[in-house]
Every structure is written in C-alpha cells, then in structure tokens.
Chains A and B, each alone.
Chain A
C-alpha cells in the first residue's frame, strides 16, 4: 500500500480502460470497451440495466477481474491488483456504512487499515466530515442519520485517504428527488474542490447530463457514444442514443437523392429537402432511414387554422398533426398526436404557450426547423 500524502490537495489520476472484456459464462457483460479518462475528469457511465456499466466500474474497483483487457491508473497497470491495494475511493448505492461503528470510526476506517495512529486518523476523519458538511456528527451511529447524511458519510470515508480516483455506483438512486439534487451539487462541489477523477455510474440520464464532463452511453456491454452532454443530446451518434437520451420523435423515411441537400420521401407522400448536415449516418439513394426530431424543437405552426407552409423552405418543414392529447405539466405543455400516416408524434412547448382554441381532435401544424432534423440509417436501429 502506498503511503498517504500529507498535503491536503489531491490531484486526480488519469484512468485508461483498454479493450476491456468480461464474460460471465456465455453472457458477455462488457464487450471490448476502450475509455480514456483524463486526470480530474468527471465521467458518467450511463446505460440501462444490463448494459455493463456496473461491471466496468467493478473492474476498475477490483471487485471483478476482467476476462481480458487492461485497466491503468496513471499508467500503472491495476487490472489484476486486489481491490484493497488500488487506493481508489468507492461509494456504493446503499451507503454501506459499518453499523456497529460510530460515524467517526467509519470515516477513519481506511486510515486505520493504512496503519495511521488512532488520534491522527480521527483528526483527519473529522476534517473529511467537515468537507461533506457533517462536522460534529462523529459520535453518532449510522442508523441515527438520514439517508442523505449517510451517503455524505460514505463520501467522506471514500475521500479521507485522498485517493486520486473516486468511483461511484449509483450513489444517489436510494435518495428521494430533492435530496438527490442537493447531493448532485454536493458531489460536483467536492469534485471541483478536490480535483479528483470521478467515475460515476448511473441509469438516470438527467443526473449524467447535469454532473459529468463527459458521458459514456452504454448498451449491451459496448460504448454507444462518448462525449459531453450537449453533443450527446443535440447530435446522438446512433439511433439507440437518440432514443435513450431524452425524448425523440422518429419518422420512417426513404432517401430519394443526395446533393447539396438530401431529399427524403415521407410516408404520407411528401418530399422534404434536408440539409446535408442532418445525416448522422452516411446516406445513399434508396436508403431506408429514420428522421429524428426532439419534441421541444417542434414549433407550433404560424396560423392557428393550420395552414401548410412552403414545402421547400430551407428554414423548416411543416407537418400536420391530429392531436390526441394535450397535457399541461406546469413548466411544459405536452402535445401528443398522429402524423397523416399514423406515426405518433410529441411536441413539447413552454408551459406558458397560448394554444388558442386547439383541443384534442383538432389538426395542428408544426414547423420542423431544418437544423433540428437528424437522419439515421434504419438498419442501424
């Protein structure tokens, strides 16, 4: 075990995961994942359950040994080093405080394992508790604290020995919504303060989008997309990410011709000219494709009467939607309806929008701004 640094400032370490593969019998949990994490970066591993995100984290933590591939922290190969000799901080989903110890002893536990004298260990544990704003709670027992406080103690315990990497396995999913938002900010603050590298596993996309510098979207043990929140949201790299992150409308189309613009045939017979930049996947004529538009990018068409605008307009295309539901949700107004061919479509407008006399059953016009449309190959779905 490495000696504990005596300076209070902790610098993060870089983490390199290369060609990581983990099989459980016939099941491939992680299928060749490469991930380079810069020192001090906040990375979120986001995916549905069974996507392999937790297995990747457990491999970094040393609780699972990969079938093949390597894990390096600051260029040091840790792939098969036992978890207790990795010097990484870890926070689990269900707090995992030791119920028979006081809060102070819990936080001082890693220092005790590193052979630090009791008094010094307690002094440092006190300081770590102050960092998570729980100074003075040291004499209590874990069961005397609320869930949020317990998770903050777990956080203090994970950073008390100044690890260079902090691993978090869905640390907020056991907390209720308000507490979760507080803790998100708390963790962001700690990350900024300590300069520690954070790998954060979550299935909550909102959490990943708000907290992480970069997000790795996972499915079936593979990284679908890796990038900052804005990039992920505004230009999903594939149909899975497009459907997984946020809400998305999908319309099946056929590519007719490709030139300065891409001409696509819509199921109800219209032909649209889309900017070439709309194509996320490479397109070719007669390609079966999917047109994707975020519900909040749809604009309620000019006239309340539902006039069809200029079909060839570069600024956007107009669609006619037969409304089936109008849902008022305070900050947003959700309109659900069907396109002429029956495809369901959703539009999300600001809650204060005036709908005039629009009601369920009416036909409304929406404008699809040219830059809001994304085009994917259909086979890639």
Chain B
C-alpha cells in the first residue's frame, strides 16, 4: 500500500529538481562565462581571466551607472519603508471607510503592467523635468516597491495587539511614543526585511529605468542592456556574477531577520 505514495513522492522530487535546475542552470552558466578569454559572449568559455571584472571596475561609465543604481536603491528603500510603514499602520489601525480604496491604490503597482506605468511616468516626468534625475528614479521606484513593504508590514503590524498601544498610552505615552517604544521594536525585523526587498527590486528594475534614464544618468540594468546591444562582451556576465553574489547575501540577511522576527513574535 505504501509503494504508490513512494513513487509519487519520487516523481514529485524529480519534478521539483527539474524545475530548480531549469531556473538555476542559466545562473550557473553565467559565472564561468564571466571568466572567459573570448572578446565576445560565447559558450563554452575558454581560458581564465579576470580582465572583465577589471574592465567593469575601471570603467567610469560602469561605475557611474552602479553608483546611480545604489543611490536610487538606497533612497528608494528608505522612502518605501517610511511611506509603506505609515500607510500600512493607517490601514491596519484605521477606522476610515477609505481603507479598502487606499489598500487597492497601494497594491496597484503590482497589478498594473510596469510598461504602462513606465510610459505614464515618462510622459509626466518629461514635462516636470524629473526624467533622468535621482529624485525621479526614487519616486518611480518607491511606487513600484511600496506593495512589497506594505505586504510585509501588514503581516507584522497585524500581529501586534492594538491594546498594547492603548496600554502604552494609558501609561502616559503619546501615540507617537507608543509607536516608537512598543510597536516599532516589535515590527523592526519585518521593516528591515521590507526595506531590503525594496532595495533589491529597485536595484535591478529594468523597465521603468529604461524609460526614465537620460543620456548621462543611466542605472546599471539600463547600461547593461545597452552594452548587450552594442558590444556583447563578457563584462555583462561579470557584472551579473557580482549581482548574483550580492543578491544572495542580501536575501540571506533578510531571511535571518525574518526568522528572528518569527521567534520574537512567537515569544511574545
């Protein structure tokens, strides 16, 4: 009687591994390609060199694009977590009838195709002169990343008993102090993980950046697309390899934060 389930489990395992392989193999292929001596992208790679990494770090254009992306991602993470936390707080604790409308507006950017958003922002930012500027990128990316902060914070804030804040206020705390001393410490791990999400999403966001990039101000993904079109050198896999390593580090950090928040909330 046990044999069929075992075979099913085996099949399921095989299927899962196949899917994982399908997703991961391209990533793994990129890594050896970045060390290839060929001047153009080719597989299998030949020889071993670090010159593509050197080219990336030496190039002013690459460095400028990276710096812009880092700046934008960093500021986006800050804006999205501030606005996202405040908005989620209003959603979770608020009694207004507008809450559901508000919720739809906040989560909207996930549903609306990015290309539609990009075109709209492009036309709008052109007229008001925000196109190709850091504030422009940050605004656009904040809109895109807000839903992710809202999701993580809604789960976290929902778990904090509203009576805890009432208790703090009955102890003499203002509403702000109640948030600062009671609610914030309890949701901080989720807030940090939401901010990390926002950082990663902003950092390799291609569609909106493509439309908003100016002649000089280009984010890293946009610059990479250009390079693929024009040169197709192994600099691209080199950068991709660096990004993979960075993303894994950030995700591990986020995971550590989330598991910490889990143990803390279950302890509470």
Contacts and interface: CB of A to CB of B under 8 A. Distances in A.
Interface of A: 1, 61-63, 82-90, 92, 94, 96, 98-100, 109-110, 113-114, 141-143, 154, 157-158, 161, 167
Contacts of B175: 84
A142 B182 CA distance: 14
Given A110-B172, A113-B177, A100 B186 contact: yes
Interface in B200-242: none
B14 to A, nearest CB: 43
Interface string B158-176: 0001011011111111110
Contact of A114 (B161, B172, B174, B186): B172
Q: Which of B168, B172, B177, B268 is most buried by chain A, counting CB atoms within 10 A of its CB?
A: B172
B17 interface: no
B264 interface: yes
B185 A100 contact: yes
A96 B267 contact: no
A96 B169 contact: no
B163 A96 contact: yes
A96 B172 contact: no
Interface in B2-44: none
B172 A84 contact: yes
B181 interface: yes
A162 to B, nearest CB: 12
Contacts of A92: 163, 166-167
Contacts of A86: 170
A157 B268 contact: no
A114 B177 CA distance: 12
A98 B183 CA distance: 9
Given A99-B268, A109-B171, A110-B172, A83 B185 contact: no
A167 B167 CA distance: 11
A83 B268 contact: no
A141 B173 CA distance: 21
Interface of B: 161, 163-164, 166-175, 177, 181-182, 185-186, 264, 267-268
Q: Is the interface of B mostly helix, strand, loop or mixed?
A: helix
A87 B169 CA distance: 10
A113 B267 contact: no
Contacts of B172: 1, 84-85, 87, 110, 113-114, 161
B174 A84 contact: yes
A61 B168 CA distance: 12
Contacts of B186: 99-100
16 contacts: A63-B166, A83-B169, A84-B170, A84-B171, A84-B172, A88-B170, A89-B170, A90-B166, A96-B161, A96-B166, A98-B167, A100-B185, A100-B186, A109-B173, A110-B172, A157-B171
Contacts of B182: 98
A61 B267 contact: no
B167 A96 contact: yes
A96 B186 CA distance: 13
A94 B171 CA distance: 16
Given A83-B169, A100-B268, A109 B181 contact: yes
Given A92-B163, A94-B161, A109 B168 contact: yes
Given A98-B182, A113-B177, A141-B267, A84 B163 contact: no
A1 B171 CA distance: 11
B185 to A, nearest CB: 5
Contacts of B181: 98, 109
Of residues A87, A88, A100, A143, which shows the largest number of chain B Cβ atoms within 10 Å of its Cβ?
Answer: A100
Given A99-B186, A141-B267, A142-B268, A84 B161 contact: no
A84 B173 contact: yes
Contacts of A82: 169, 174
B163 A143 contact: no
A76 to B, nearest CB: 17
Nearest to B166: A63
Nearest to A98: B182
Nearest to B186: A100
Contacts of B177: 84, 113
B74 to A, nearest CB: 28
A89 B169 CA distance: 10
A84 B164 contact: no
B182 to A, nearest CB: 5
Contact of A83 (B164, B166, B264): B166
Contacts of B174: 82, 84
Nearest to B267: A143
A186 to B, nearest CB: 19
A56 to B, nearest CB: 16
Nearest to B170: A90
Contacts of B173: 84, 109, 113
B167 to A, nearest CB: 4
B169 A94 contact: no
A83 B173 CA distance: 9
Given A82-B169, A90-B166, A92-B167, 15 more contacts: A62-B169, A83-B166, A84-B173, A87-B172, A88-B170, A90-B170, A94-B161, A96-B164, A96-B167, A99-B264, A99-B267, A100-B186, A113-B171, A154-B167, A157-B171
